Amino acid sequence: MKNDSARILLIEDERALREALADALSAEGFSVEQAATGGAGLTAFRTNPPDLVLLDLMLPEMSGIEICRAIRSNSKVPIIMVTAKASETDRIVGLDLGADDYVTKPFSARELSARIRAVLRRGAATPPPVGQRLLKVGEAEIDLEGQRILRSGSVVHVKPKAFQLLAFLIQNAGRVYSREQLLDRVWGYDYAGETRTVDVHMHALRQAIEAIPAQPTALQTVRNIGYVLRRSA
Ligand code: CA
């Protein structure tokens, strides 16, 4: 065990490639843990949190995208995605998965370890810029284009529907909507759910953006009517 070396979790299903990478990275002084599936990777991630995750995009069962999201939902650990085609990199960047960098196969061990060192040096604190315009709402900054909520520079994850609800209210700031209206406008007319769904998503959004979720300053309840988003100047 090299206790002072950075620990890398390598999630790659192709055995030959995985073992070759593990050997090469060990030779570069990293301590490498291998996982052949997404499930095994997530388990290894939780049991023994690494300093960096090297994640193959194309995995059976759970894709690299799902794993990246799962890790990002509660960790800022640096993630480098490994892709088979250069064309996939656009997708990765476009999806804003929160990966810190990516490498395209084939790559040399030297190139990879240089990327790893660079990402580790940069640290995990700064999420990559996506949309340029950030709107201050409550305690958070909202990136409407990148569909992200940032708080103290870190991404706060909410469900896509919750983000759509927030975006709708931002775009219609100051207007009061009933729960039924919000269901219609955000979920769509054919949605068969209950108005309580709106409350559940609102609760999650308040947790994400309000300083004191129980005393919201931005996402306000209008008694007997519904909700309104108030933006401070
Ligand atoms: Ca693969």
Query: 118 CA distance to ligand 1 centroid (A)?
Result: 24
Query: 39 CA distance to ligand 1 centroid (A)?
Result: 14
Q: Other C-beta atoms within 10 Å of 105: how many?
A: 15
pLDDT at 93: 57
Query: 13 CA distance to ligand 1 centroid (A)?
Result: 5
Percent of the chain with pLDDT over 90: 48
At 131, the pLDDT band (50, 70, 90 cuts) reads: low
- Which residues are within 5 Å of ligand 1 (an ion), measured at CB? 13, 56, 58
pLDDT in tens, 135-183: 899 999 998 888 889 887 788 888 889 999 999 999 999 999 999 999 9
Place of tokens 């990293």: 30
Place of tokens 């609102």: 202
At 227, the pLDDT band (50, 70, 90 cuts) reads: very high
Q: Which are the contacts of 31, defined by CB distance < 8 A and separation ≥ 6?
A: 1, 2, 5, 6, 7, 8
For the chain, give the mean pLDDT.
86
Query: 76 CA distance to ligand 1 centroid (A)?
Result: 23
- 206-214: long-range pairs with CB below 8 Å, 24+: 208/140, 208/149, 208/151, 208/156, 208/158, 208/162, 209/137, 209/138, 209/139, 209/140, 209/142, 209/149, 209/151, 209/156, 209/166, 210/138, 210/139, 211/138, 211/139
Query: 192 CA distance to ligand 1 centroid (A)?
Result: 39
Q: Mark 66-79 as b/e (b = at least 16 C-beta within 10 Å).
A: ebbebbbeebbbbb
4-18, 122-136, 180-194, range with the lowest pLDDT: 122-136
The first and second tokens of residue 188, run together, are 């769509």
Q: Which are the contacts of 34, defined by CB distance < 8 A and separation ≥ 6?
A: 10, 12, 18, 19, 22
pLDDT in tens, 75-111: 888 899 888 776 666 566 545 677 888 888 888 888 8
Query: 14 CA distance to ligand 1 centroid (A)?
Result: 6
Nearest to residue 32, comparing CAs of 15, 19, 42? 19
Q: Alpha-carbon Rg of the chain, whole angstroms? A: 21
Query: 18 CA distance to ligand 1 centroid (A)?
Result: 9
**Residue 95: helix, strand or coil by DSSP?**
helix
At 1, the pLDDT band (50, 70, 90 cuts) reads: very low
30-34, 124-128, 181-185, 187-191, range with the lowest pLDDT: 124-128
Residue 3 has pLDDT above 50, yes or no: no
User: Once rounded to an integer, what is the mean pLDDT over residues 61-72?
Assistant: 87
The gap from C-alpha 194 to its chain's centroid, in whole angstroms, comes to 28
Query: 140 CA distance to ligand 1 centroid (A)?
Result: 37
Query: 60 CA distance to ligand 1 centroid (A)?
Result: 7
At 130, the pLDDT band (50, 70, 90 cuts) reads: low
- 126 vs 93: CA distance, rounded Å: 16
CATH numbers and ranges of domains, the chain: 3-123 (3.40.50.2300), 130-229 (1.10.10.10)
Burial of residue 212, with CB atoms counted within 10 A of its CB: 0-12 exposed, 13-18 middle, 19 or more buried: exposed
Query: 59 CA distance to ligand 1 centroid (A)?
Result: 5
At 2, the pLDDT band (50, 70, 90 cuts) reads: very low
Report the C-alpha dihedral over residues 132, 114, 124, 98, rounded to 10 degrees: 50
